[in-house]
Amino acid sequence: MALEKLAVVAFGGNALITDGQKGTIDDQEANAYAACETLLKLIKKGYNLVITHGNGPQVGNILLANTAGHKLYGLPDMPLDVSVAYSQGFIGYIIEQQLKNVLMANDMDRDIITIITQVLVNKDDPAFLNPTKPIGPYYSKEEAELITAENGSKFAEDPRGRGWRKVVASPKPRAISNRTTIEKIARGGQIVIAVGGGGIPTYYKEMNKLQGIDAVIDKDLASALLARQINADKLFILTDVPKVCIHYNTPQQQTIDRMNIATAKRYLDEGHFAEGSMAPKVRAAIEFTKNTGRDAIITKTTLLGVDDGGTRITIV
């Protein structure tokens, strides 16, 4: 029997690879199992689920493997959109398998379906002139400079001081493909994994002809758009901190339990939230709440479904 409530849950990249890990399959399976266990609270509260996920570490590693294969063996280079598709497939597989294990361990049975999701973008989006989306591993400044000299890649320093990461264009998502099917399956009581890594960026090269483009879409913005387009009741954006903070990592740091759209916009304008970190999550929450009137919650994975857990973004 179909449940009445529908939630979109956006797993952060750290749901599968945490800081300091190499990202072995054992690491990713263990982390996915732990992340999926937190979904039980929502399921028991009567929510149907659509799961989205990041792919920053994984897609960066795929690009590194592509480069090595091209240099060493002459294998053809794969463009970034294909690398995103690759990451959707294998991350979806890991989440599917580990969530199934969690459900079986708790005497539950649901079908879990990964949908390889294309997302429409504007090829003239100004983001293509200003790459900001971090992908791949962290490097020292010296390593980043060497790579830039070798192939022209752009790097940016991590706002939390963890090193330097490659940055690529991150255009705004415009439309989610197969959204009607995603909603139908989820409202039918099954669990859908979609918009992995923000979705595969595509555009219309000409009328009636889609084509991929070299970019990575922010998964939180894509998740918010998907949540709007499937009329979700709630959006959960998961990260590695319990609540949104202002004056982050300073003696004046202050956690926020609840903020309305106007306050969230003001904090964004004042620069409290770093790009490539909390800023996209807050923007995504604003977009969902502004367009639906429903709450979005930003919180740590382990606090998903906990009453008063995380930061709630509201209309007023």
Q: Work out the widest C-alpha separation in the chain, in whole angstroms.
A: 58
Q: Which one is catalytic: 166, 243, 281, 300?
A: 281
| DSSP, res 294 | -
Q: Cα–chain-centroid distance for residue 89?
A: 15
Whether 219 is a known active-site residue: answer yes
Q: What is the 3-state secondary structure (H, E, C) of 110-161?
A: CCEEECCCEEECCCCCHHHHCCCEEEEEEECHHHHHHHHHHHCCEEEECCCC
Q: Which one is catalytic: 14, 31, 48, 66?
A: 14
| CA dist 279 → 54, 269, 282, 294, 315 (Å) | 15, 10, 5, 20, 18
58, 91 contact by CB (below 8 A): yes
Whether 45 is a known active-site residue: answer no
Q: Which one is catalytic: 31, 61, 197, 219?
A: 219
Whether 290 is a known active-site residue: answer no
b (16+ CB within 10 A) / e for 68-98: eeeeeeeeeebebbebbbbbbebbbebbbeb
Residue with tokens 């304008």: 269
Whether 13 is a known active-site residue: answer yes
Q: Give the Cα separation of 130 and 150 in Å (integer).
A: 20
Q: Which one is catalytic: 61, 66, 92, 133?
A: 133
Whether 133 is a known active-site residue: answer yes
The residues annotated with a catalytic role in the active site are 13-14, 133, 219, 281
